[in-house]
A and B are shown apart, each in its own frame.
Chain A
Amino acid sequence: MSTAVTAAPTVTAPPAALSPLRQLGLVVQWQMRRRTQELPLLILLQLLIPVAVVIGYGLLVGDAGPVAGLYLATGAPVITLVTVGLVGTPQFVSQSRTEGSLDWMRTLPVPRTLFLLADLAVWTLVAMPGMVTGVIVGAWRFDVDLAPTWWVVPAALLVALTAAAVGYALATMMSPPLAMLMSQVLVFVVLLFTPISFPAERMPDWAQQMHTWLPLEPMAQAIRSGLASNDFDMPGRSWVVLAVWCAAAVLGARWALNRRH
Chain B
Amino acid sequence: MDDVLRIRDLHKKFGRRRRVVHANAGIDLTVAAGQVLGLLGHNGAGKSTLVNQVVGLLRPDAGQIVLDGVDAVAHPEQARRLTSVQAQANVPITGLTPRTAIELVGRIRGGDTAQVRTRTSHLIDALELGEWANTQSEKVSGGVARLTAFAMAAVVPGRLVVLDEPTNDVDPVRRRLLWREIRALADDGAAVLLVTHNVREAERVVDRLVVLDNGTVLADDTPAALTQSRSGTLTLEVDMLPSVDTVPMLRLAWPEGLVVTDRGQGRATAAVPADQAAAVVAWASETLAAGRIERYALTPASLEDVYIELVGSQTTNEEIAA
Q: Which residues on A are within 8 Å of B, measured CB to CB?
A: 1, 3-4, 6-12, 14-18, 23, 26-27, 29-30, 33-37, 99-101, 103-104, 106-112, 260-261
Are A23 and B56 touching (Cβ within 8 A)?
A: no
Are B89 and A100 touching (Cβ within 8 A)?
A: yes
Instruction: List chain B residues, Cβ under 8 A from A35.
Output: 95
- Would you list which residues of chain B between 67 and 99 have a CB under 8 Å from chain A? 76-77, 80-83, 85, 87, 89, 91-96
A8-B188, A34-B93, A260-B59 given as contacts; is B122 within 8 A of A15 (CB)?
no
Are A34 and B58 touching (Cβ within 8 A)?
A: no
Residue of B nearest to A110 (CB): B108
Instruction: List chain B residues, Cβ under 8 A from A3.
Output: 118, 121-122, 125
Are A15 and B58 touching (Cβ within 8 A)?
A: no
Of the stretches B139-147, B153-161, B240-248, B297-305, the one at the interface is: B153-161
How distant is B95 from chain A, measured CB to nearest CB, in Å?
A: 4
Are A7 and B122 touching (Cβ within 8 A)?
A: yes
How distant is A198 from chain B, measured CB to nearest CB, in Å?
A: 40
Are A108 and B185 touching (Cβ within 8 A)?
A: no
Q: Which of B109, B125, B126, B155 contacts A109 (CB 8 A)?
A: B109
21 contacts across the A-B interface (CB closer than 8 A) = A3-B121, A6-B118, A6-B122, A7-B121, A9-B154, A9-B157, A9-B190, A10-B156, A11-B185, A14-B81, A17-B81, A27-B108, A30-B96, A33-B95, A34-B95, A100-B87, A107-B56, A109-B109, A110-B108, A111-B77, A261-B59
How many A-B residue pairs lie within 8 Å, measured between CB atoms?
116
A11 vs B190: C-alpha distance in the bound complex, in angstroms?
6
A170 vs B154: C-alpha distance in the bound complex, in angstroms?
34
Are A109 and B157 touching (Cβ within 8 A)?
A: no
Most-contacted residue by chain B among A7, A8, A107 (CB, 10 A): A107
Instruction: List chain B residues, Cβ under 8 A from A103.
Output: 57, 87
Instruction: List chain A residues, Cβ under 8 A from B21.
Output: none
- Would you list which residues of chain B between 177 and 213 have a CB under 8 Å from chain A? 185, 188-190
Instruction: List chain A residues, Cβ under 8 A from B55.
Output: 107
Instruction: List chain A residues, Cβ under 8 A from B58.
Output: 260-261
Q: Which of B57, B94, B126 contacts A4 (CB 8 A)?
A: B126
B273 on the A face (CB < 8 A): no
Are B107 and A26 touching (Cβ within 8 A)?
A: yes
Most-contacted residue by chain B among A11, A17, A101, A111 (CB, 10 A): A11
